[in-house]
Structure 1
């Protein structure tokens, strides 16, 4: 156990004002999934309080100009939310029109009713908790994750806590499948949900943790191989040289996460998680693959392994694909109804957190009358229906910018590449899954991984680039003093050794 966990000694713990922020971030990232996915207002308020305290103690010593630009971009998102929130809460909005439902209610009741730009007064204030927690998590992830060692520790915290929740989920399903923690389980009795209420969110969470475990295992194995580039003919011999006790704990955690993921029987969660694992593995091994055929062989091998795991561990998932297809018809009809809501309220939406009350008049007759639609099962569509198209587009642009920066970090770094790669892979998984469900609307999932997104963004910039940006006038295009040839060769050899991984 000593070799596969990060080495921790008392000499590592020297007091600084950055320790409280790091401790708060690690605590929140590990504990947020515990109280039933943190979907109730009390849990969300507690995490906002913790993350707010962490931001107050956030270290600024390691922040560099690219990080400040990231924080400025997040500030633009905050300003957009503040403007929309003002319009939806104010009795005298600046530009937003009043919802016609208030005049209709006043005419029917025969009494004057103060109008509002939202269909529910003050609901936007209470619905702000989850987005605020996500914003605080990514800000704290950037400031704490600007230090590479703390960013790596955050990766380990999420991976180990995910394996612990997966172990609990499998054990509780085998021992008492009708309970979630101390409450009765009222839905998904035949599926593992861990500490979450919904099996789809649980599948995305366990799959995301499995992605992180795969990257940690690949990095550890790659570091132990003797060659600078993998010799595939000797790979089996080199792998046998690794002591089993040094790699088995990580493989066990990966297997537990995979078992829990498949036992959720979530089609989209399992399928997208396997896709994220394949992509993350191929990207990590990109330097060791043949230029033309290597990537296709790697992708084909990954798909074959994924299909094998699906048949071996995911029999119930396969049966759901066979019986129900790729998507439910009712969900597609729900998306069409949500598009009608957006078309009627394009600028400021119906109000944050108002989807459950805005949906019934638009509910398609092709949807079963059973149940209440309290979510659109598509986070982008629900966001646009709640806050309007302009703010929805601003958030979409922020996601695009995040993927661009993470991709730049993945293909630009040689050391600690698993930090931006893990953030990019889990971001892809969570975003694609949220287009089909509401994973990112569950704080127990979104808070840990928004923190990871922040750490991945912070580690997508090298210190060398920051020094170029901060030096007066820059150093690009300027000549350097000549160095002796022997000194240049020695420097190149030392740089190669340092930046090998």
Structure 2
């Protein structure tokens, strides 16, 4: 981080800012993943205030600190500005040229105005703007404050241990049928605890992908620590390696990962289970092609075998497996939901209906067979929902930015810290893949974690 050389300035504020960031990242999943309006606004304000304090305290030179990510960051900011335009009153003639169906909708509601805004819901767009501003601030904060490997690992440990504690919380409530529930699901979501686990999230599939991301990070941290100890203690002997594994603090991480796996499969999410397996395979194939190394030791073979065995045992004895056997790959109405989003996009192709407004427009387009359930208020495909609400222009801005970032973090595999990098890459592929069949980015916590991880991966890629 490019600090301004004011005596004592950085030493006073950096620990405070970094600790504040860690607390926010650890706590945000515990309030429904920040789904309610007040939760979104609270965390958005805190993230923006933390980033604002970092700038005001003159710890960084913003003109040079983001040199390596200038283009993707500028595109993210331009995306935010684009979304702000939806709230600016425009002459009716201009609005008609930009979004003809929007003005037709206004006329249909008998609203004669000289100027109009380009969103069908000002309130929903304001909420979406708060979410976009917060994830950009989080991205910048993590990129600035996690320049060194120690800081990167501290952030990842907070993500992992917060999730591990939630997994324990889930299992306790699963076996006591919710006797120790602290955060109730937002109606109409929520099922009896004895039938599935959901953590503090309302929608079990979102909790599933949250676990998939943090489990991947946990495995990466564990393997990285084992690799360090192997070099220090000469753990090439298989017996010595196993003894070290079960007699040190690593056993705590392993037990936490097992609890998280049990909770993961206890969510009954078929998509989450499938996506984790696919994401792991894709990431390892990418690593193999990029490095072209195939050095397998006995210890690695034993560890991988143990992981596969534990994974298989937990899966085949879980409710997720039962659901696979009864439902197979049945889409549960997702094809109809996707068609709904495409129908909206066809009517509002350039600009969409306004950021965050899908729930306010979908009822006019959806198939009557979908009913009026909470599930139908989202497209269950974040990419189609983005097209429907922000049109081609909004989708192009965020897609261009993310493609630039993803090309950097997947093309280069650092020589050091490989396990952590691979764990983070798996988590990114998990949420990106799962978002084709669900609405993960509609929850602020998952969006925040995504931007945190890509910011860390960018820093890791620079450390060559």
SS at match of 2:91: coil
Q: Which residue of 2 aligns with 1:461?
A: 462
Pick the structure with greater CA Rg: 1
Whole-Å separation in 2 of the counterparts to 1:343 and 1:283: 36
Which ranges in structure 2 are unaligned for 5 or more consecutive residues?
1-9
Residue 19 of structure 1 deviates from its aligned partner by 1.7
Residue 184 of structure 1 deviates from its aligned partner by 6.4
Whole-Å separation in 1 of the counterparts to 2:137 and 2:86: 23
Aligned pair in 2 of structure 1 residues 178, 343: CA closer, same or farther (>3 Å)? Answer: farther
Whole-Å separation in 2 of the counterparts to 1:110 and 1:408: 52
Paired residues for 1:389-468 under 5 Å: 389-409=392-412, 411=413, 413-462=414-463
Q: CA RMSD in A?
A: 3.5
Aligned pair in 2 of structure 1 residues 327, 406: CA closer, same or farther (>3 Å)? Answer: farther
Is 1:28 the equivalent of 2:24? yes
Aligned pair in 2 of structure 1 residues 178, 384: CA closer, same or farther (>3 Å)? Answer: farther
Q: Which residue of 1 aligns with 2:121?
A: 120
Aligned pair in 2 of structure 1 residues 400, 228: CA closer, same or farther (>3 Å)? Answer: farther
Residue 357 of structure 1 deviates from its aligned partner by 2.2
TM-score, normalised to structure 1, is 0.77
Whole-Å separation in 1 of the counterparts to 2:230 and 2:61: 32
Is 1:210 the equivalent of 2:215? yes
Aligned pair in 2 of structure 1 residues 228, 389: CA closer, same or farther (>3 Å)? Answer: farther
Q: Which residue of 1 aligns with 2:344?
A: 341
Aligned pair in 2 of structure 1 residues 110, 356: CA closer, same or farther (>3 Å)? Answer: closer
SS at match of 2:416: coil
Whole-Å separation in 2 of the counterparts to 1:104 and 1:457: 44
Cα contact 1:20–1:54 (8 A) shared by 2: no
Q: Which residue of 2 aligns with 1:196?
A: 201
Aligned pair in 2 of structure 1 residues 259, 282: CA closer, same or farther (>3 Å)? Answer: farther
Residue 240 of structure 1 deviates from its aligned partner by 3.2
Residue 200 of structure 1 deviates from its aligned partner by 0.4
Paired residues for 1:300-311 under 5 Å: 306-311=311-316
Deviations 1:120-151 (A, max 9, x none): 34542232122222111111111111122211
Is 1:52 the equivalent of 2:44? no
Q: Which residue of 1 aligns with 2:3?
A: none
Aligned pair in 2 of structure 1 residues 180, 135: CA closer, same or farther (>3 Å)? Answer: farther
Cα contact 1:32–1:445 (8 A) shared by 2: no
Is 1:264 the equivalent of 2:267? yes
Whole-Å separation in 2 of the counterparts to 1:158 and 1:107: 48
Aligned pair in 2 of structure 1 residues 283, 16: CA closer, same or farther (>3 Å)? Answer: farther
Aligned pair in 2 of structure 1 residues 213, 20: CA closer, same or farther (>3 Å)? Answer: same
Whole-Å separation in 2 of the counterparts to 1:273 and 1:113: 52
Cα contact 2:359–2:378 (8 A) shared by 1: yes
Residue 33 of structure 1 deviates from its aligned partner by 0.6
Q: Which residue of 1 aligns with 2:98?
A: 97
Q: Which residue of 2 aligns with 1:480?
A: none
Cα contact 1:215–1:422 (8 A) shared by 2: yes
Residue 268 of structure 1 deviates from its aligned partner by 1.0
Q: Which residue of 2 aligns with 1:161?
A: 162
Cα contact 1:335–1:378 (8 A) shared by 2: yes
- Mean CA deviation greater in 273-282 or 249-258: 273-282
Whole-Å separation in 2 of the counterparts to 1:38 and 1:77: 21
Aligned residues: 440
- Mean CA deviation greater in 247-256 or 275-284: 275-284
Residue 161 of structure 1 deviates from its aligned partner by 0.9
Q: Which residue of 1 aligns with 2:7?
A: none
TM-score, normalised to structure 2, is 0.83
Deviations 1:354-395 (A, max 9, x none): 111221222124x33252422111111101111111221222
Deviations 1:11-55 (A, max 9, x none): xxx933222221121011100011121111221222122212222
- Mean CA deviation greater in 350-359 or 184-193: 184-193
SS at match of 1:25: helix
Residue 283 of structure 1 deviates from its aligned partner by 7.4
- Mean CA deviation greater in 119-128 or 187-196: 119-128
Whole-Å separation in 2 of the counterparts to 1:55 and 1:42: 20
Cα contact 1:229–1:288 (8 A) shared by 2: no
- Mean CA deviation greater in 295-304 or 277-286: 295-304
Cα contact 1:22–1:54 (8 A) shared by 2: no
